[in-house]
Amino acid sequence: MSETITARLANVNNLLLQSITESARQIYFLIAENDGIKTKELRLKSVYSARTIRYSIRTLINLNLIKQLPDLQDCRSHLYVINQNA
């Protein structure tokens, strides 16, 4: 991991990350490593099923750890990024 990603992750509330499932934690770290990643890319880079990835994304959005942004190149999909305001 690069230093900027490590610095970002240091700002995240550790108790909050410990309270979520292992799959959501892994998805969070994948999103942190790849700033602006789609669900399809998450599926290719992880070992989790599409359903698990969707659930993890929903959990992370509800906890305000990540943001869902529209993909301007393909309006049918979304980009997921770390929420800097968390």
CB 76 within 8 A of CB 57: no
pLDDT score at 8: 59
Alpha helix stretches (DSSP H) within 14-74: 14-19, 22-33, 39-45, 50-62
State the burial class of residue 3 (Cβ atoms within 10 Å of its Cβ: 0-12, 13-18, 19+): exposed
Per-residue tens of pLDDT for the chain, all 86 residues? 556 655 655 555 566 777 789 999 999 999 999 988 999 999 999 999 999 999 999 999 999 999 999 999 998 999 999 988 75
pTM of the full predicted structure? 0.79
Every domain of the chain and the residues it spans: 3-82
pLDDT score at 51: 96
pLDDT score at 85: 78
| Nearest one of 84, 41, 47 to 65, comparing CA atoms | 84
Q: Architecture of 3-82 per CATH?
A: Orthogonal Bundle (1.10)
